[in-house]
Amino acid sequence: MHGRWQPDLQTRAASMSDSAVPQYLRALVRDSAPFQPIPSPEPTDAGVARLHLNESPLPPSPRVVEAVAAAAGGLNRYPDASYARLRATLATHLDIDPACLVFGNGSDMLLGQVTQAVLEPGCNSVMPMPSFHRYSRGAQLEGVRAVQVPVLADGRCDVDGLAQAVTGPTRLVTVATPNNPTGGMLGASELQRLAEAVPASVPILVDEAYFEFGRHVGGPDALEIMRRYRPGPWIVVRTFSKAYGLAGLRLGYGVTSEPAFAEGMARLRPMFAVNALAEVAAVAAFSDQDHLRHCMAAAADCRADLEHRARVMGLAVVPSAANFAVIGLDRPAGPVVTALRDRGVYVGTVGPAPWDRHLRVTIGEAPAIDRFFEALQAVL
């Protein structure tokens, strides 16, 4: 096996998934799917191509590195639990009320807090499928039914289908744009339709983890659309992990429709949900928009190259606005992913049928992309 991804930990997780979960844990926990760590080689391992986690292949802004180095000497102190500097930076940049901001250890944490805040037994949660696993996982852990609406053939969320799936028990509607793992991006008119169609009593969660990538190619700003057209509660969630290259520091933020929504979510978070280095890194990253534009241009070029080379091989491509390409195969993707991993190339799958014949390939350094196509040619 290529790479150093701690096989002992994976073996242990697999053995735990086969054993009985202790009865003293909640039934919802006992009945939920086991946690399975994603096999991941070391980023510095020259023997592998790490193209499965949607990470940035470029390092963060030099300003981030300098800010983190300067702050490292103060790690004996707890971070500012109010996130005053980051809150002020984002409020100014986004032109919003600072009290409408929430922060978490990655946007994943915030997605979980939204479900905790609004879902309860007896209701349901409407979401796209396939999409980020946290949506259905969050519903399951709150004991509610996940109403999954298939995405469209081009990978975009079906906003009309999502709106039509809302019933009396619905307490949350989630939409992602661009959508992970299909890459489809919604247009402004689609987001407006969803904002106006969902009853004002039902919160809308817009996951914009890949917002900057979509914006770079002309996509809409869901925050602006929600503020203008949405009569009911909403939250737009974004992250510093992808476009800003801060995946290792774990920092996400959300903008809520009103301060009361943010206050309710704050009651669910730990006192220090964001570490001190993540906060100073985010402030520094926001100060270097030139670096962000450079990264977005590089990502667009790499994605276009990935898609072109796939087409040259005779493979289908689903247009993506995120930092990954979606490549169609003439066979099930699972065995192909395994065979590629055996050759030191790590890529992802997309979802159940009809998406079970697609690969999700993160944009990456040129040598990693070359290695992917060499291995894919051999496997196919």
The pLDDT, as a whole number, for residue 75 is 94
pLDDT reported for residue 19: 57
Please tell me the distance from the alpha carbon of residue 316 to that of residue 236, in angstroms, as a whole number: 32
What backbone phi and psi angles, to 5 degrees, belong to 237?
-110, 130
Q: Which residues of 332-360 are buried (b: 16+ CB within 10 A; e: fewer)?
A: ebeebbeebbebbbbbbbbbeeebebbbb
User: Is omega for the bond preceding 62 within 30 degrees of 0, making it cis?
Assistant: no
| Residue where the block lists tokens 């909403």 | 234
State the pLDDT at residue 14: 46
Instruction: Please report the pLDDT score of residue 1 as a whole number.
Output: 39
In eight-state DSSP terms, residue 35 is: P
What is the Cα–Cα distance from 41 to 48, expressed in whole angstroms? 7
Instruction: Output the pLDDT for position 45.
Output: 65
Q: Which residue has the tokens 């949506």?
A: 135
Q: Which residues of the chain have pLDDT under 70?
A: 1-19, 43-46
Predicted confidence at residue 204, as pLDDT, reads 98
The string of pLDDT tens digits covering residues 304-326 is 999 999 999 999 999 999 999 99
pLDDT at 4: 37
pLDDT tens per residue, range 23-39: 888 888 888 878 777 77
Tokens of 274: 């964001």
Q: Is 113 helix (H, G, I), strand (E, B) or coil?
A: helix
DSSP element (H, E) containing 129: strand 124-129
As a whole number of Å, the end-to-end CA separation of the chain is 20
Supply the pLDDT for residue 220.
97
In angstroms, rounded to a whole number, what is the distance separating the alpha carbons of residues 253 and 209?
A: 10
Q: Residue 186 — left, alpha, or beta (φ > 0 → left; ψ -120 to 50 → alpha)?
A: beta
- What does residue 192 show for φ and ψ, rounded to 5 degrees? -65, -45
Neighbours of 59 (CB within 10 A): 11
| Residues 273 and 108: beta-carbon distance below 8 Å | no
The whole-angstrom separation of Cα 345 and Cα 148 is 31
| Domains detected in the chain | 40-60+290-379 (3.90.1150.10), 62-286 (3.40.640.10)
